[in-house]
Amino acid sequence: MSTSCTTGLPGLDKVLKGVLPGDNIVWQVESWQEYRDFVVPYAEAAHRDGKRLIYFRFASHPELLTPGQCYQIHSPDPAQGFEGFVNEVHDVITHSGEGSVCVFDCLSELSETWRADSMLGNFFMLTCPRLLAYQRLAYFAIYRHTHSQFARTPIYETTQFMLDVFSHHGQLYIRPLKVQYRSGEVLNHIHMREGDDFRPVESSAEIAEVLRSSDWRGLLSEPRPDRWKRLVLTAKELLRDEYQDRPVSTEKKHSLFEQILLEMIGEDPQMHKLAREMLILEDLLAICNRLIGSGRIGGKAAGMIIARGILRQREPDLHQKLEAHDSFHVGSEIYYTFLIQNQVWWIRQQQRDSETFLEGVDEAKVRILNGTFPQHTIQQFRDMLSYFGEAPFIVRSSSLLEDGYGNAFAGKYESIFCVNQGPPEARLEALLDAIRQVYASALDEEALRYRKRRGLLHRDEQMALLLQRVSGQRYGRYYYPQLAGVGLSYNPYVWHRDIDPGAGVIRLVFGLGTRAVDSNEDDHTRVIALNAPDLQPSATHENTQRKMDALDLSGNRITSGSFDEMVTEDAALPLQLFTSCRPGEKYPRLTFKGLLHKTELMGDLRRILEALEQAYGVPVDVEFSVNFLRNLEYRINILQCRPFQIRNDEDGDLGVDLLPRHKWIDAKGPVIGVGLYSQIDRVILVKSEAYSMLTEQKQHGVAKAIGRLNRLTPENIRYVLIGSGRWGSREPSLGVPVRFGDINRSIAILERIGMHDNLVPDASLGTHFLNELIECEILYAAVSPGEPGNVFHLDMLFEYPSILKELLPETDASILEALHVVDLPNLHFRANVFSQQVELFQT
């Protein structure tokens, strides 16, 4: 087999100073016939030289080669999506054998199928280096005057050859636009094809005549918009005609809505159906006006926008109370382009394989955090910052799989506040850093393990972004909303018989909602059952918020501090709604009593949650903020809405009244989630006093040991986890600092309120990982041994030897002392949501 390479046209080889294995030759043509005129001699030469010619057939134009003219024909389907198409093509290139050469159909249709020129550019940036690495000479073509700079520029910068082809009076001409690593003297010289030879055109008269017929569009021509932009412009023109009472085709309007919706929201049938019912064309174009790049806007952004559409349609009076939103969106295509241009793509591909999904992750994250963006994208970011001025905003993940039916990804990806103060260039760099951090969080181990657990590694997970203005206003040096929180349309916190789970529940804070969304071991949130707002989760003492989060405009950062120290009297701040003061108390406390009794807010939030649940068909999880204007008028901002899947069990009690031979726990306390009754095989117990005596490093060691036990536990082993303090605490002194992946195989988690006699942190109620608990159907209960009537005899477990040393032979002696693991027969666990009773006993 010959190792030399040729175009099959000796004259062209001479013009190009020869072609080499690995060269990519891109032909810019008016028609597929012009391209075929160069493909056929190339294929004939490959056949003569005994080379395997691989033809990639995917376009709608007639075939360039017949089966007899090539070694193999492969037909990857662009409609399967960018990632699947790329992987299939590259797999063929990799395994096509030494000395193979390639021909691709005209590439231009790919940008139509993928709805963006940038995706065509991305395909070429990935494929050209792969062909070069495997030394495959390849032919490509694009149509002239068809693509924007987002396709032309990356193709031009990546290929070795770009040749302009045009016709005049039946003759074909070529003009080399790029000849990498060859003599530059051939550039922009025009050559006329005469059989197998190419004659340079040197007469100025002939050159002028040829170029005048080459369809040059002139200096005033606008860059051609890609398919996505053409679609949006057509929709805008249609609405303009409609507003001016010109006749508009209903079918055309519906078709445009469907096309834009599919490209923007995605193909999840449930979310797509919901969006189709609740949104209108004007909603989609409003998003387009604030879309940076192209591609889909992701689950979080879609959920927020659909929620607003639901309320507009079903609760118009409540919709009038919503704060207007002016969010920007970074399309998922920007993420693809960023990964490709910063050499992260191939590392990311390993995540599709459960055997290699963690390989190269650290290197990829370093590349992301140091990555660069295309200049046209940076300019769009500048325009966004110009719109916001110095108003704070937050960069939020909005991946394709996020916030959909069944996959919350709660807390898996980052959200970064941009306080957005200072000179424009400093604000731009802060924005780019925030975006890089969110992109990098898609490769966090916990996020990847979550995807593996839920069978999502093979799914296309692109990271779109939602750039939201921070709701609130400035109070002195601080910026924050007056109220923020999380609302659930189904209340899994049934701590009292008077609570109706179907009425919903909210977790409410003063200031930024970070304290309602994230775990905060040093403070409390107000948990409000919407049908019984005055009931408190704890019957022993009233817990109130003492700290708040805000944006420090002077320090250009997010900060936390004492409510008493950070809040000063302000006419725009109705503190009388949020605070109350008992006789003898020096400072008012955040009880929200005025809010509950003097406003309609709780009723409005209940109606909002009910309307959203009815539309979604499942319970929903909503993030919101509230700001009061004057005369007790307020605006609610829906920041996020997603399905909140739960079981429909009543209380989990199977009705079996077993007489216990050993009753180890029989206690009342908050039972979070649905009830449970199950025989169990194992108990993992953290011994309070021994754990409290450990150093912080050893306390982290306990958490790691539990994680190893969790991963080693076979699926058929059912175990309960018992420990003092808050599971998942970031402060080891307040509880065991496990991550959800360390405990996700348990069937129930018990939080023993109180670390030791001198430290009794408030129960966390499982909110550190609430969504994961619900998704995995894990019950969480908090019990206090010191409460009257509670039975708590875990010392009985110590009559049985711990098997921890057998399971983890290298465990440190101090950790062995603090962690007790027993396997026992006939062990039962029962938790009743309505009676708030927890039992652990042996029969």
175 against 403, higher pLDDT? 175
Is the pLDDT confidence value at 213 over 70? no
Tokens representing 225 are 């918009």
Determine the average pLDDT of the residues in 573-589.
Answer: 82
Is the pLDDT confidence value at 209 over 80? no
H helix or E strand, kind and range, residue 701 = helix 696-712
Nearest to 35 by CA among 156, 166, 124: 166
Residue 481, Ramachandran bin (φ over 0: left; ψ between -120 and 50: alpha; else beta): beta
Mean pLDDT of the chain: 86
* Least trusted range by pLDDT, from 327-331, 491-495, 614-618: 491-495
Is the pLDDT confidence value at 758 over 60? no
C-beta of residue 758 within 8 angstroms of C-beta of residue 726: no
**Cβ partners under 8 Å of residue 716, min gap 6:** none
The Cα 195–Cα 192 span in angstroms is: 10
Strand partners, 842: 662, 827
188 against 132, higher pLDDT? 132
The Cα 528–Cα 496 span in angstroms is: 12
Model confidence band, residue 685 (pLDDT cutoffs 50, 70, 90):
very high
Burial class of 825 by CB neighbour count within 10 A (0 to 12, 13 to 18, 19+): exposed
Which of 91-100, 366-375, 687-696 has the highest mean predicted lDDT (pLDDT)?
366-375
Is the pLDDT confidence value at 324 over 60? yes
Model confidence band, residue 543 (pLDDT cutoffs 50, 70, 90):
low
The Cα 124–Cα 129 span in angstroms is: 8
Q: How far is CA 797 from the centre of its chain?
A: 44
Instruction: Tell me the CA end-to-end span of the chain in Å, nearest whole number.
Output: 79
Determine the average pLDDT of the residues in 614-634.
Answer: 92
Model confidence band, residue 170 (pLDDT cutoffs 50, 70, 90):
confident
The Cα 567–Cα 163 span in angstroms is: 67
| Tokens 């300019």 belong to residue | 379
Rg (CA), the chain: 32
Provide the greatest CA pair distance for the chain.
108
455 against 232, higher pLDDT? 232
- Which sign, positive or negative, has the C-alpha torsion 640, 643, 648, 649? negative
Model confidence band, residue 542 (pLDDT cutoffs 50, 70, 90):
low
The Cα 733–Cα 179 span in angstroms is: 66
- pLDDT at position 103 is 96
Q: Quick check: helix, strand or coil at residue 166?
A: strand
The Cα 422–Cα 534 span in angstroms is: 44
Nearest to 735 by CA among 715, 706, 770: 706
* Least trusted range by pLDDT, from 189-198, 711-720, 741-750, 786-795: 786-795
Residue 3, Ramachandran bin (φ over 0: left; ψ between -120 and 50: alpha; else beta): alpha
Q: 3-state secondary structure string, 475-500?
A: ECCEEECCEEEEEECCCCCCCCCCCC
Determine the average pLDDT of the residues in 565-577.
Answer: 87
Model confidence band, residue 306 (pLDDT cutoffs 50, 70, 90):
very high
Is the pLDDT confidence value at 539 over 50? no
The Cα 310–Cα 280 span in angstroms is: 11
pLDDT in tens, 72-96: 999 999 988 898 899 999 999 999 8
Which of 290-304, 538-552, 823-837 has the highest mean predicted lDDT (pLDDT)?
290-304
Determine the average pLDDT of the residues in 314-340.
Answer: 94
Is the pLDDT confidence value at 538 over 60? no
171 against 330, higher pLDDT? 330
Is the pLDDT confidence value at 650 over 80? no
- pLDDT at position 352 is 80
Is the pLDDT confidence value at 656 over 50? no
Determine the average pLDDT of the residues in 573-582.
Answer: 88
- pLDDT at position 649 is 35
Tokens representing 419 are 């306080």
- pLDDT at position 686 is 92
Is the pLDDT confidence value at 778 over 50? yes
Is the pLDDT confidence value at 764 over 70? no
pLDDT in tens, 255-288: 999 999 988 887 678 888 999 999 999 999 999 9
Query: HSE (CB half, 13 Å, CA atoms) of 356?
Result: 10
DSSP 208: H
Tokens representing 30 are 């008016």
Model confidence band, residue 207 (pLDDT cutoffs 50, 70, 90):
low
Determine the average pLDDT of the residues in 506-533.
Answer: 83
Q: C-alpha angle 473/477/482, rounded to 5°?
A: 35
pLDDT in tens, 25-72: 999 999 999 999 999 999 999 999 989 999 999 999 999 999 989 899
- pLDDT at position 569 is 76
pTM of the model: 0.78
H helix or E strand, kind and range, residue 11 = helix 10-15
Sheet bearing 547-552, strands edge to edge: 473-475, 478-480, 547-552, 557-562
